[in-house]
Amino acid sequence: MENQDLLVDKDQWIAVDLGTKPMQVSNEEWKKLDWKAKSIIQLCVLDSILLNVLGEATMKALWDKLGTLYQYKSLVNKLFLRKKLYNLRMKDGDSVTEHINTFNTVVSQLSSVDIKILDEDKCINLLFSLPDSWDNLVIAIGRNATALQFDEIVSSLLTEKMRQKIWRARMVMPCLYKDGPRTEKKEKRKKKKVIEWEV
């Protein structure tokens, strides 16, 4: 995926996507484009991988060979990736951001082996992967949404993470928040009353 993005960014994905020279491009320009695209990929892969694809004449041939060797599209791999997605669980105390990143990585891996996950299924799988302590948020999302949108779910999770962080900070350092000084004043008043009664 990253290599593809790099080629797209350099306007060289055409060498892989089409694989054959467009009519409006000269032979010299096409050879130069193909050579540059090959160079970029060869710089990005490990030497041990490069040895297996060094003899490929064109960028398209090199890309296809890399896909054949390292992008396992077998049924076993597809099943393994699906299992990985369905078994993904966040534990209490884990980073929500890291969990979302891991989730997106597995979805991306599934996409690379031609398994598309619908937006609603992504939402359900992500919500299902949360620990029980997040059930109130999951219920709230389910009640308020007519249709699940992945970006909105992610936004809700990150907002909840911030809310929990602030709540924890209030528990650790209550004197920084409004509740802290009021509680202290109430305790001082109670002590005064006790002292007055004792006199």
Q: Which residues contact 19 (CB under 8 A, 6 or more apart)?
A: 58, 60
Say how far residue 86 (Cα) sits from the centre of its chain.
15
- Contact assessment for residue 95 and residue 128, using Cβ atoms and an 8 Å cutoff: no
Q: Sign of dihedral through CA atoms 120, 122, 125, 130?
A: negative
Q: Which residues contact 11 (CB under 8 A, 6 or more apart)?
A: none
HSE-CB of 38 using CA atoms within 13 angstroms? 20
Per-residue pLDDT tens digits for 45-69: 777 777 777 777 777 787 788 777 7
Per-residue pLDDT tens digits for 76-124: 788 888 999 999 999 988 999 999 999 999 998 888 788 888 988 999 9
Q: For residue 170, is pLDDT > 70?
A: yes
CA 188, CA 144: separation in Å to the nearest integer? Answer: 45
SS3 for 169-192 is HHHHCHHHCCHHHHHHHHHHHHHH
Highest mean pLDDT among 32-36, 110-114, 171-175 belongs to: 110-114
Q: Which residues contact 2 (CB under 8 A, 6 or more apart)?
A: 44
| Mean pLDDT value across the chain | 77
Q: How many CB atoms lie within 10 A of CB 62?
A: 23
Residue that has been written with the tokens 């598309």 in this structure: 116
Q: For residue 125, is pLDDT > 90?
A: yes
- Contact assessment for residue 119 and residue 150, using Cβ atoms and an 8 Å cutoff: yes
Residue that has been written with the tokens 């082996």 in this structure: 113
